Amino acid sequence: MDNTRRAELLLVGVTLLWAGTFLFIKRALEWCDPFTLVTLRFALATVAAFVVWGTAASRVWTDRVLLRHALVLGLAYGTGFYLQTWGLLHTTIARSAFYTGTFVVFVPLMQRFVWRRHPTVREWWGVVLGITGIALLSNPDADSFNRGDLATLAGALVWSYYMGYLSYSGIERLGRLGTGALVILQCAVTTILGVLWYIATTVFPAGTNKVGGIVRVVWNVDVVVAVLYTSLLASVVATYVQTRVQPGVSATRVALIFALEPVFATALGIVAHGERLTLVETIGAAMIVAAAVLPAVVQLVNER
């Protein structure tokens, strides 16, 4: 097996690790509120990331511009995870996974209306496919669209801003930061957001409980496995493998591999959690995946 194929298989493994988070988080949410779960996840991930990449973070504190960019990215990163996890409390694994995947659909919209860049024709076609898929997956005739779906879509929108910020805000200097330092800062900012939320629940319990639910955690196997899996495997190990092998794989193939995440997550939801999608929802989910892979498929065809 050549190095490229080995790298592609490792990226498929990374995608599987990400897909598994939906199942483990869904199970843990029966015993732990979303904000506490995300805070625990990224607190442990911050420590683990510092062990792996600690030396890379030392130079960040001497560059205020670099630090500001990293904090903006961390704020968007963390907000997306809190919205996604709160949404998963109220929706299914499959819907959460596919709605999360729509961040690819929202990126061209962010390009056009926030960053004033002009998406390509095929990217606009991806937007049309994706929005149609969202409408079908929402299954309005069955009145199944709920606040969890809405929160997940909001998280996807935040992550599309995150992707646009990385690409279009003129932060070429971020390259000096390095992946490791960025991971540490993102995880740390996400943890700080959770701590601030906990303080808010103490000061304003009535209002915050209506939004995020009562802060609680019942320590058991589901919660421990979810925290360890999402923080160590899905956050630190997956990022480490990705940054090591992705440079050896074309961007087109990477996009196609990562588009499998909601498919894998749905399969896990069906097998391990007994979930089902209706025919209309399945068509909508397929259209969302098609929207995500359309630019990569067109590029692959053109290259041949």
The stretch 130-147 carries a mean pLDDT of 80
Q: Radius of gyration of the chain from Cα atoms?
A: 19
Round to whole Å and give the CA distance between 270 and 274: 5
For tokens 């390259």, name the residue.
175
Assess contact for 32 and 85: CB atoms under 8 A: no
Domain range holding 180?
Answer: 3-303
Structure tokens of 35? 């904000």
- Residue 247: CB atoms within 10 A of its CB come to 9
Percent of the chain beyond pLDDT 90? 42
Q: Is a pLDDT exceeding 80 seen at residue 204?
A: no
Assess contact for 91 and 152: CB atoms under 8 A: yes
Q: Tell me: the pLDDT tens digits for 78-115? A: 999 999 999 999 999 999 999 998 888 888 888 888 87
For tokens 């190990």, name the residue.
237
Q: Tell me: the pLDDT tens digits for 145-190? A: 889 999 999 999 999 898 888 776 655 555 556 677 778 888 999 9
Q: Is a pLDDT exceeding 80 seen at residue 61?
A: no
- Residue 230: CB atoms within 10 A of its CB come to 28
> Against a cut of 0.85, is the pTM above it?
yes
The stretch 36-40 carries a mean pLDDT of 95
Helical spans, DSSP H, in 91-220: 93-100, 103-113, 121-138, 147-168, 178-203, 205-212
What pLDDT is recorded for position 165? 83
Q: Which residues contact 73 (CB under 8 A, 6 or more apart)?
A: 162, 165, 166, 182, 185, 186
Count the residues in the chain. Answer: 304
What pLDDT is recorded for position 30? 94
Round to whole Å and give the CA distance between 167 and 174: 10
**Nearest Cα to Cα of residue 88 among 154, 186, 140:** 154
The stretch 11-17 carries a mean pLDDT of 93
What pLDDT is recorded for position 243? 79
* Number of domains comprising the chain: 1
Bridge partner list, 217: 32
Q: Which residues contact 78 (CB under 8 A, 6 or more apart)?
A: 38, 42, 186, 189, 190, 193, 194
